[in-house]
Amino acid sequence: MSTAVDAAGRPLSASLRSKGVLTIPLAIREQLHLEPGDNLLVTVREGQIVLTPAALIPRDQAWFYTAEWQAKEAEADADLAAGRHVRHHSDDAFLDSLSED
């Protein structure tokens, strides 16, 4: 683990404020692409506080957890459970089914 430094080579620091609020220096937020609302795992290692960026849901997969998408997932699950589906046993059978009326 390395110590972050500013342009003059001085270690970066932050002050703990009331209610435990800590502002991570801008240079570190930019380096790690941290944005307001991002989650951080907090651990103590050898007497040091370690903050690790942790996406509970990766940003590029957040669409899957939207209410609209979850409703469609529930609809698909219900269709499967009710037997409203067709199983094709080969690629050709599937492709043939696409041209059927």
Both 9 and 33 in one domain: the answer is yes
Beta carbons of 12 and 25 less than 8 angstroms apart:
yes
pLDDT digits (tens, 9 = 90+) for 19-50: 999 999 998 899 889 999 888 999 999 999 99
Is the CA virtual torsion 62, 64, 68, 71 positive or negative?
Answer: negative
Both 7 and 42 in one domain: the answer is yes
Give the predicted TM-score (pTM) of the model: 0.49
DSSP state letters, 79-97 = HHHTT-----SSHHHHHHH
CATH classification at residue 7:
2.10.260.10
The total number of structural domains in the chain stands at 2
Tell me the percentage of the chain whose pLDDT exceeds 90. Answer: 62
